Structure 1
Amino acid sequence: MTKDSSLGMTRRAVLGAFAATTMIAAPTYSNAAGFLRGAGDVRRLRMTSPRTGERIDTIYWIEGDYISDAVKEINLFMRDWRTNDIKNIDTRTIDIMAAAHNLLDVDEPYMLLSGYRSPKTNAMLRSRSSGVAKNSRHLRGQAADLRLGSRSVSQMFRAAKACQGGGVGRYSGSNFVHMDCGPVRTWGR
């Protein structure tokens, strides 16, 4: 973190102050596709992790630029909590998550069930479930499994699908939606 000696403020504090004013003025997007094409000035991601007890609420993109410190925080947050391995999360996946959240018009943060998965974790999960792909996009930092208490799996699925940015899986029985930046496709019930 850099510090502006004349003001005594950290870069994070400046961004926080900026975010507080710009989020109020930020437009509401009618669809995620426009959002993903850069129609907005600010992109924000809010999540909690039931596995680690951590929370994140960060502005990661302003005026066409990703904020590297914020993206690093997201990478750390979305790490494999079983092994503590960290992978760079594909910013396209982060954008899809943020766009879908915006379409859902909620203040509630996502609950992150699974972000990056190490090969060891993915192999263990595959041995326990037929629903875990051998070459999962989680292994590449290109996927997230998410839940919201205030929205149904169907509502989340429709919002993510509207983004047309990648794969969207509906897991109604387990109460989560999978979002990734791979080819546009859908699956699940």
Structure 2
Amino acid sequence: MTLRLPRPFRPFASVGLLSTLCVVVLLGAVTPSASARRFESRRHPRLRAIAHAFVNVALPGMGLLPDDEAELPVEGQKYELKLVHPSGEMIDVVYRVGDTYVPEALDKLSNFLRDSHNQEVTTFDPRTFDVLHTMLAKVGKSTGVINILSAYRTQETNDALRASGTTNAAEHSQHIEAKAIDLRLPGVSAATLRDAALSLGAGGVGYYPKGQFIHVDVGPVRQWTFAPHSGKKHSRHRRRA
């Protein structure tokens, strides 16, 4: 007669098996099912489209202002802007070379972007031009001509626009500080321009679907959409257009 002894208890093997079971259970708890993954991929199709719709170009850093023309670089990337007023007045200028702004070109742009109501001129924030240039590159229109609807406004002009009730000018507008531009770009929808501007994270972006134009500025980062049917603005942050 053969006596069978019981198998010895092997605690480490049991612990190993238990650990494996725990890992399997945990993975099952945190790993989404195929249907869940498909649902997640459908949740924000517009956000995925924005991420891949634009040319991969970054906003340049703040440029330098030389003391005199002799310090202007002869080599480097040239930043060109083409702008046009509703009146037909147009400007085509290289305002920056490499990391250096061109003072004469900045003066020309500031004059072009003057208050259209009283012709007053002030120095425009050059970072606004960098936003315009990069936005054009983002939508593949580096040589496009931007239609300028509104740029610098004096306090008097802004107050008059607010009092008239014909516009939605903000009380503390970035236009007063020469940091904002309302614009259109022929051949590119306002929604596409808005998304390109938002991707820069460089300041305020306003979207006006009825007028098919956008507002960009280099003030605090925020965004809004003007809803003309209700006369209200839907904003994520306090607006300073």
Name the TM tier (shorter chain): 0.7 to 0.9
Shift of 1:35: 3.2
TM superposition shift of 1:130: 6.2
Question: Whole-Å Cα distance in 1 between the matches of residues 83 and 194 of structure 2?
Answer: 17
Deviation at 1:99, TM superposition (A): 0.9
Mapped partners of 1:58, 1:109: distance in 2: 12
TM-score by length of 1: 0.78
**1:87 corresponds to which of 115, 118, 122:** 122
Q: Which residue of 2 is the match for residue 26 of structure 1?
A: none
Counterpart-to-counterpart distance in 2, 1:37 and 1:163: 12
Percentage of identical aligned residues: 31
Per the alignment, residue 23 of structure 1 pairs with: none
For residue 77 of structure 1, the aligned residue among 107, 112, 119 is 112
> How many residue pairs align between the two structures?
158
Higher RCO structure (Cα 8 Å, ≥6 apart): 1
CA distance in 2, matches of 1:74, 1:146: 15
2:183 alignment partner AA: L
Q: How far has the Cα of 1:115 moved from its partner?
A: 0.5
Confirm whether residue 47 of structure 1 aligns to residue 71 of structure 2: no
Let me know the Cα RMSD of the aligned residues: 1.8
TM-score normalised by the chain length of structure 2: 0.62
Partner of residue 133 from structure 1, selected from 170, 181, 186: 170
Deviation (angstroms), 1:58: 0.8
C-alpha displacement at 1:124, in angstroms? 1.5
Q: Secondary structure at the match of 2:59?
A: helix
1:133-172 Cα distance to aligned partner (Å, 9 max, x none): 0110000000000001200010110111111110000011
1:35 is matched with 59
Q: Determine the structure 2 residue equivalent to 1:17.
A: none
Post-superposition CA distance 1:100-153 (Å, at most 9, x none): 111121233000000000112111111224621011000000000000120001
Report the 3-state secondary structure (helix = DSSP H, G, I; strand = E; otherwise coil) of the residue aligned with 1:139: coil
Residue number in structure 1 paired with 2:159: 123
1:56-75 pair list within 5 angstroms = 56-75=91-110
Is residue 108–residue 150 contact of structure 1 (8 Å, CA) maintained in 2? no
Unaligned 5+ runs, structure 2? 1-54, 63-75, 227-241
1:15-47 superposed Cα distances (whole Å, 9 cap, x missing partner): xxxxxxxxxxxxxx613xx23237x72211111
After the TM superposition, which parts of structure 1 deviate over 4 Å for at least 4 consecutive aligned residues? none
Q: Unpaired segments of 5 or more residues in structure 1?
A: 1-28
**Residue 113 of structure 1 contacts residue 144 of structure 1 at CA under 8 Å; is this kept in 2?**
yes
